[in-house]
Chain A
Amino acid sequence: MNELPLLSALVAVPLIGAVAVASIKRERAAAARWTALGFSGAVALIAALVAIGFDYSAGAPWLQFTESYAWIPNWDLSLSWGVDGIALLLVALTAGLTPIAMLAAWRDLDSVQRSVPTFFALILALEAAMLATFLASNVLLFYFFFEAMLVPMYFLIGSYGTGPRRQYAAVKFFLYSLLGGLFMLVAVIALWVHNGGVFDWQTLVEAEPMAAGSLQNWLFLGFFLAFAIKAPFFPFHTWLPDAGGAAPAAVAALLVGVMDKIGTFAILRYCIPLFPDATQTFAPWVIGMSVIGVLYAAFVAIGQTDLKRLVAYTSIAHFGFIGIGIFAFTQASATGAVLYMFNHGLATGLLFIIVGFLALRRGSSQIADYGGAAKTLPLLAGIFLFAGLASLSLPGTAPFISEFLVLFGIFTENTIVAVLATLGIILAAAYVLWMYQRTMQGDRNPALDEVPAMKRDLTVREKALVAPLVIAILGFGLYPQPLIDAVQPAVDNTLVFITGEPADAPAAEGVTNE
């Protein structure tokens, strides 16, 4: 279809960029920033080329832009890349959010004695690893990057994070993910042994499906545990508030906005096609966990005293919705879940970035340190409210359509779950509005007047970087059809493994907002 190795470039460019930026001298911070931004901009450009060249028609092949280069033939490990509609959305999200996050963190390191080149090199390395997990079409290759991405994120949290607990948070993040990853490794090896040494995803999917039974169940659990920790689903979520709270805000935006989506993406890409029977067997449990997650995380979020931890908890609630959407196995809910991943990345990414702006100005992310801040920061407060409303899925913003589709899809399957999950929306309104009220409105906290930075509203750089996110959230809120068109074929292809036949009723077709 396309002669250029675009997908290889998507992985290689940020990787080369990471090496290039890391080799810049520590004193030349500005050069490091601009080089890093240049590389991430190039990645965004390549991602745009992929999105333009992508065949969105229903009859198109599942994976497009496929490439494959042999690497370790003994293990059937090859550098195989391919992209479907779901991955395309997440690749676009990664490629778009990374330069924005870099811009958001542009001045974060001015006041601390940390190496700027290393920071930006780590972000580029993280971007490369995240893109590689979305693009890999080889199970072992996916696993490689799934694990390797822990290293840059670990240093980003532990070395560049804020607060006294950043090391604890970094180690907790690493060990949780590693534990999940190692159980997945057992399952990966067992899968390999079982199918006679094949790791190529396409071969595996086209092969005779695995017999239902205990082996498939165990393999599913091995994969699922890793993904559930990564996502994270309740009750494997406890690392996220710590990591999200300790990470620099821009990194937290990438962590929650993109990296956590790898868990839910991988469930769709690996668990369902490879272990369809086991997926169905465990679906009620997962939905149960997800519902608990939606409600529990929302309650806990209401009680948080730290903005970053609060946003992290809201995300756990949102991942519950994604879990419900995937495991309801209806076309509408699954499409909704995929859109949810994308839209949540936009909304929560924006929310984290705004919280980062606030924290940098105030020097604290404790809610108690604010109060009436909107008086001197009207624009920042406005964007903050907008991001909050987007994250509670206000109609007109992009997350609305995804939440609507998820609930619509599950309603036909299980009314009780749908009703309980709807409660989550009400709670979301509570925590978002409360958060806004306690920080921005009400009596002005006198301490704020002593902080000169709290009188400085959004700078040009800050405006420039939130603008694309605001536009995307509004744009896809009013006209989500392109997103639905992109993911529909991939979702249908995936759900065939559960329903056994191509889904017909195009439930999501024509569902547009306003």
Chain B
Amino acid sequence: MNEALQIDWGGLAPLIIVFAAAFGGLLVEAAVPKAVRLYVQVGLAVAALAAAFVTVTVLLLGDKQTTAFSIEGTAIGSVVLDGPGLFLQATIAILAIVAVLLLAERRTTRGGDFVAEAAVVADSAADIQQRRSDGATEIFPLTLFAVGGMMMFVTAGDLLTMFVALEMLSLPLYLLCGLAKRRRLISQEAALKYFLLGAFASAFYVYGMAMLYGFAGTVDLAGINQAGISSGQPRLFLYIGVAMLAVALLFKAGAVPFHMWTPDVYTGAPTPVTALMAACVKVAAFGGLLRVFNVGLASSAWDWHLILTVIAVATMLGGAIFAVTQRNIKRLLAYSSIANAGYLLVGVIALGEAVGQTMFYLAAYGFTVIAAFAVVSLVRDGDEEATHLSRWAGLGKNSPGTAVVVTILMLALAGLPFTSGFAAKFSLFAAALQADELGLVIVGVVSSAILAFPYLRVVVLLWLNEPAPDAPTVNLPSPMAGTVVAAGVVATLFLGLFPGYLLDIVDQASIFLNT
């Protein structure tokens, strides 16, 4: 190791804590007796994430603007600790705490929502056997690895680090998707589909990185930006590179036309994992997109602006229109997450003007969607989740509390005033207008109006329809899932009524460090 290499250990602390806890979790699997393993794992994961959150918050409020590594005062941009990076790390950490609590919920299904071994042939004797036993507790270290990857992804300052982080966050997720205890086949299909398409996306990423390296002579984002102005290489390399890189990142973000996996994976994966993906992975993916386009490709904005606009329009309208026809709550939320990816893309396209607002949107949406999936996991037909919407009819009669929660969440997703959904859309669209993206804002509004219809239909079902005689029960959640729902709803209302606090923070934290 180079002696002059200086490492900012304090700045790296959050990542180190999360990864250390992940490895610690593996040791727990080996060393701790099965009876208490769950509690140890959950405690470890929550403690690590909370510690990471606190550390990041301290760094964020201290206005840290630096790179983690430097040689004799010259910054190396592999891990960049700047406002957006730290804010998104904090968002991921706190959303991950909520998601971990949901993963740990065991009252709804005996032994939890997970099986011990994903690879057992579905519906075989061994499979039926393992459905009766407790689920794997490896899910917690796996989640920690994924979350660590996400936190690294949003601070990665060069394409190589970003790629490592991308794989780090993806691989555990592929596995987690396949672990659902119910509907094993669909779960395994989801895992395979996500893995295959994800592997393709990674390949695209690597090719894109190679092209950009050919163009710029560096994988450093700031260097690529510089090259966008001054490089003598054929610009074709840049185009191909940007296109391929964008394919990979937009795949993770779930933008049309790279969204095909979203509904299937969201439906097939265990609902707590879906919640993790819809909230945290979305934050990470858009964190990466924001950084790549703001830091690395701002100088070539003219070249990619049109195509990204087309994708944003397609994503906003496609997600909303497909959502209208959905009859399954998980698929509905999946398509709504696609449409929301479209709104977020507007923030990416608006570049510097909208960075803070995009981050606000990510945080607000994350809490709402995580609570929504938590509720989905509580409404049950016997042992299975009642995901078909017709089963939700008349829920307001039998379980008014749950129905009120769902109503608040749906109105928030529809963007009605007094909810975080309105605050998020308002500030994002305002920022986009400031960046002269009137067309995109109008499409966004039209898409919101279309999307309001399916949300409203859920509310209609809850309150205005008569319940079926064999209506699903709402499992009284243990403190775990109860906390998740409460946290989501409180955040949704708080950010709707008093968005000022968070808006001030994102305003402070919206400047990327261009090393």
B506 to chain A: closest residue by CB: A74
Instruction: Say which one of B33-41, B371-379, B445-453 lies at the interface with A.
Output: B445-453
A167-B452 in contact (CB<8A):
no
Least Cβ–Cβ distance between A345 and chain B, in angstroms: 25
In the complex, whether A62 has a CB less than 8 A from a CB of chain B is no
B449-A175 in contact (CB<8A):
yes
Chain A 43-79, CB-CB to B under 8 Å as 1, else 0, gives 0000000000000000000000000000011110000
A141 to chain B: closest residue by CB: B417
Beta-carbon contacts under 8 Å, B9-54 to A: none
Docked complex Cα distance between A183 and B418 (Å)? 18
Least Cβ–Cβ distance between B286 and chain A, in angstroms: 21
Question: Which chain A positions have C-beta within 8 A of B260?
Answer: none
B416-A151 in contact (CB<8A):
yes
B429-A189 in contact (CB<8A):
yes
Question: Which chain B positions have C-beta within 8 A of A174?
Answer: 452, 456
Question: Which chain B positions have C-beta within 8 A of A126?
Answer: none
Docked complex Cα distance between A185 and B426 (Å)? 8
Contact of B499 among A74, A178, A179 (CB under 8 A): A74
A189-B411 in contact (CB<8A):
no
Question: Which chain B positions have C-beta within 8 A of A429?
Answer: none
Question: Which chain B positions have C-beta within 8 A of A190?
Answer: 433, 438
In the complex, whether A417 has a CB less than 8 A from a CB of chain B is no
Beta-carbon contacts under 8 Å, A136-156 to B: 143-145, 147-148, 150-151, 155
Contact of A183 among B426, B429, B433, B445 (CB under 8 A): B445
Docked complex Cα distance between A255 and B507 (Å)? 41
Docked complex Cα distance between A72 and B498 (Å)? 7
In the complex, whether A355 has a CB less than 8 A from a CB of chain B is no
Chain B 480-505, CB-CB to A under 8 Å as 1, else 0, gives 00000000000000000011100110
Least Cβ–Cβ distance between A202 and chain B, in angstroms: 21
Least Cβ–Cβ distance between A162 and chain B, in angstroms: 13
Docked complex Cα distance between A158 and B430 (Å)? 33
Question: Which chain B positions have C-beta within 8 A of A171?
Answer: 453, 456-457, 460
In the complex, whether A193 has a CB less than 8 A from a CB of chain B is yes
Docked complex Cα distance between A175 and B449 (Å)? 7
A159-B463 in contact (CB<8A):
yes
In the complex, whether A205 has a CB less than 8 A from a CB of chain B is no
Question: Which chain A positions have C-beta within 8 A of B74?
Answer: none
Contact of B434 among A148, A183, A193 (CB under 8 A): A193
Main secondary structure of the interface of A (DSSP, over half): helix
Question: Which chain A positions have C-beta within 8 A of B452?
Answer: 174-175, 178
Least Cβ–Cβ distance between B241 and chain A, in angstroms: 34
B500-A72 in contact (CB<8A):
yes
A186-B442 in contact (CB<8A):
yes
Docked complex Cα distance between A150 and B429 (Å)? 22
B441-A170 in contact (CB<8A):
no
B503-A74 in contact (CB<8A):
yes
Docked complex Cα distance between A174 and B452 (Å)? 9
B433-A167 in contact (CB<8A):
no
In the complex, whether B61 has a CB less than 8 A from a CB of chain A is no
Question: Which chain B positions have C-beta within 8 A of A144?
Answer: 417-418
Docked complex Cα distance between A183 and B449 (Å)? 9
Q: With A155-B463, A174-B456 in contact, do A148 and B430 touch (Cβ < 8 Å)?
A: no
Beta-carbon contacts under 8 Å, A191-235 to B: 192-193
In the complex, whether B306 has a CB less than 8 A from a CB of chain A is no
In the complex, whether A182 has a CB less than 8 A from a CB of chain B is yes
A167-B464 in contact (CB<8A):
yes
A189-B453 in contact (CB<8A):
no
B430 to chain A: closest residue by CB: A189
A150 to chain B: closest residue by CB: B416
A189-B417 in contact (CB<8A):
no
Contact of A186 among B411, B427, B445, B456 (CB under 8 A): B445
Chain B 437-479, CB-CB to A under 8 Å as 1, else 0, gives 0100110011011001100110010011000000000000000
Docked complex Cα distance between A73 and B453 (Å)? 32
A151-B411 in contact (CB<8A):
yes
Docked complex Cα distance between A193 and B411 (Å)? 26
Beta-carbon contacts under 8 Å, A303-328 to B: none
B459 to chain A: closest residue by CB: A154
Docked complex Cα distance between A147 and B9 (Å)? 49
Docked complex Cα distance between A155 and B429 (Å)? 29
Question: Which chain A positions have C-beta within 8 A of B414?
Answer: 178
Question: Which chain B positions have C-beta within 8 A of A189?
Answer: 426, 429-430, 433, 441
Docked complex Cα distance between A189 and B427 (Å)? 9
Contact of B417 among A143, A167, A183 (CB under 8 A): A143
Docked complex Cα distance between A159 and B375 (Å)? 23
A74-B417 in contact (CB<8A):
no
B416-A148 in contact (CB<8A):
yes
B463-A158 in contact (CB<8A):
yes
A170-B464 in contact (CB<8A):
yes
Q: With A75-B426, A143-B417, A159-B463 in contact, do A182 and B500 touch (Cβ < 8 Å)?
A: no
Docked complex Cα distance between A159 and B438 (Å)? 38
Docked complex Cα distance between A244 and B178 (Å)? 51
Docked complex Cα distance between A182 and B425 (Å)? 11
Contact of A182 among B430, B438, B448, B499 (CB under 8 A): B448
B428 to chain A: closest residue by CB: A189
Least Cβ–Cβ distance between B509 and chain A, in angstroms: 14
Docked complex Cα distance between A150 and B414 (Å)? 13
Least Cβ–Cβ distance between A119 and chain B, in angstroms: 13
Question: Which chain A positions have C-beta within 8 A of B442?
Answer: 186
B411 to chain A: closest residue by CB: A151
Docked complex Cα distance between A178 and B463 (Å)? 20
Docked complex Cα distance between A144 and B417 (Å)? 5
A179 to chain B: closest residue by CB: B449
Question: Which chain B positions have C-beta within 8 A of A186?
Answer: 429, 441-442, 445
B498 to chain A: closest residue by CB: A72
B499 to chain A: closest residue by CB: A72
Docked complex Cα distance between A147 and B457 (Å)? 18
A175-B429 in contact (CB<8A):
no
Beta-carbon contacts under 8 Å, A110-142 to B: none
Question: Which chain B positions have C-beta within 8 A of A175?
Answer: 449, 452-453, 456
Docked complex Cα distance between A432 and B442 (Å)? 43
Question: Which chain A positions have C-beta within 8 A of B453?
Answer: 171, 175
Least Cβ–Cβ distance between B24 and chain A, in angstroms: 41
Docked complex Cα distance between A192 and B445 (Å)? 17
Docked complex Cα distance between A182 and B445 (Å)? 6
B433-A193 in contact (CB<8A):
yes
Question: Which chain B positions have C-beta within 8 A of A158?
Answer: 460, 463-464
A185 to chain B: closest residue by CB: B445
Chain B 336-357, CB-CB to A under 8 Å as 1, else 0, gives 0000000000000000000000
Question: Which chain A positions have C-beta within 8 A of B463?
Answer: 155, 158-159
Least Cβ–Cβ distance between A385 and chain B, in angstroms: 36
Least Cβ–Cβ distance between A264 and chain B, in angstroms: 22
Least Cβ–Cβ distance between B171 and chain A, in angstroms: 40
Docked complex Cα distance between A215 and B449 (Å)? 23
Chain A 355-371, CB-CB to B under 8 Å as 1, else 0, gives 00000000000000000
B464-A178 in contact (CB<8A):
no
B464-A192 in contact (CB<8A):
no
Docked complex Cα distance between A33 and B42 (Å)? 50
Least Cβ–Cβ distance between A50 and chain B, in angstroms: 25
Docked complex Cα distance between A189 and B498 (Å)? 19
Docked complex Cα distance between A66 and B456 (Å)? 37
27 chain-A/chain-B pairs, Cβ below 8 angstroms: A72-B499, A72-B503, A74-B504, A74-B507, A75-B426, A144-B418, A151-B416, A158-B460, A159-B463, A171-B460, A174-B456, A175-B456, A178-B414, A178-B449, A178-B452, A179-B449, A182-B445, A182-B446, A185-B426, A185-B429, A186-B441, A186-B445, A189-B426, A189-B430, A189-B433, A193-B430, A193-B434
Knowing that A74-B499, A145-B417, A192-B430 are A-B contacts, what are 7 other residue pairs whose CB atoms are under 8 Å apart, sorted by A's residue number? A72-B500, A74-B507, A147-B417, A158-B464, A171-B453, A179-B449, A189-B441
> What residues make up the interface of A, taking CB atoms closer than 8 Å to B?
72-75, 143-145, 147-148, 150-151, 155, 158-159, 167, 170-171, 174-175, 178-179, 182-183, 185-186, 189-190, 192-193
Cβ-closest 9 pairs across A and B = A144-B417, A74-B503, A182-B445, A189-B430, A179-B449, A193-B433, A72-B500, A158-B464, A182-B449
